[in-house]
Chains A and B, each alone.
Chain A
């Protein structure tokens, strides 16, 4: 009897997880409905975000653009920075103390709260950007992308290092026996056999960048326009929600929830692509 109760409660908790998942989609969709009824798909393609009561209109394109541009830039910058760390921990120093120290340090990067990254970006990174003459205030797409890059490095490295470790030893040894140098082993053995895993890690890391809020909010400049250059200010989906949710009601609130729904879909798509690539590898 108690056994059955136990088994039922196990299943019930699982059902609760499904319920939460379903509830999230339902709540977002319901909250976003007024916006899509008002503007239709034009909400996604319009770049006019105007809370002025006389001329109220909401369009999400500037934020979608901001999110996609910053995350893509972060992804591109993250590849050359995280690959060396992954190759160190997964190949050069595989299984040694050095590798565990490096990966501990990188894990610490993952532990830094988003708001602390924001502060560091504001007080240390931004002045550097200004000094370099890249932009007047130092805010903007580029600054936000750099912070995002630093934030996603740990995710990209720890995953891709796992895939580099998984390359079978006999393959590497065979290459060494043919007289290959370590670099040639990386180029001709590790790259081909771990590349899709490494790509999957980068895609999942990008999934992290899409939803980052605080650090980006503090650095992107918060201008509701489609960014015109690398150094112009902008806004991302997550940062516009954080900035404007508090005072919003009516159609504006619904529009912000609609942006949340779109952000949800984009992250789900990116994460699912990454996961599918990884699943294929495990078989």
Chain B
């Protein structure tokens, strides 16, 4: 006989399915084959674990889940490549550690990760979506012994929606297969849908949750003159002493600490006083302390061209490009650079020229930070040669060369 599942007085809906129970895998698999062979398509087998080969017994077609996963995975690949290319090479291009703005080798790891991430979500969500889950309420749960389906029971339900369904014939078929009582499960009158207030609540929560994002998005398109919001200010406003500020901790009241007396910078140990300062005792040396040869002069010429010629001019007349431009603009504060061929300059000792290069004079800045000591001496040597070239006499030309020069 056909036992109704919900014997309580609850109002009954229309018939959902007729359910048979089985004790083991073999019986339910055999039954599935018989039901399939009888031409039913809208039926299902319920078991506590996946039964090997039941799809074939039931005639279930292979799922299209792999295709969904493939499509999502490929969009993950494409999305990752686009994201990396657009953000790092188009919208905000910056060079770092000599890598191309968008290089395939460096893009592979993230592309791979996003491909896997998208595919995994597709597999997970796709599986539940194709299974029409979550669905917390289902007519089959009305079956009084259905709790065994997640423990050790096996059930076969032929649904009323099947075109071949006939309450009596279907029941007879199932009775011939199962030794357990056959049960009819009805659709509950109440369709089990989520109550309206729950749905309304969920929608409201979702809307409220979106507000911060909407505000953030809106502020992206607004200008503001307010200072940025600082959550923790100690990196923005640090307690520290600025350069040249006073600091009461020290006797001299200075925040910037001078070098300890006797500190020597790397490579600047002045063992040779003449070489380092241009002075012998208190007087300027008149002799260049390096060997003056063609190499030194060439070096001096090159350094002079870089550091001196812009103001003093290539020939040393104080007519360099900077000076020319300044006088063209009639800069009121501009002090024209000295001509190196003035008698005063020519009369200066080599040591004094050296000192001027390193430490500057009047408005000429000090070049000691740019020009190494030996280079400064090379420049002095070259300046001496320059001075001599502009005040040379025939006597200075070697006799052998005079004829060639027409002298």
The answer to whether A binds B is no
Interface residue ranges, A against B (CB under 8 Å): none
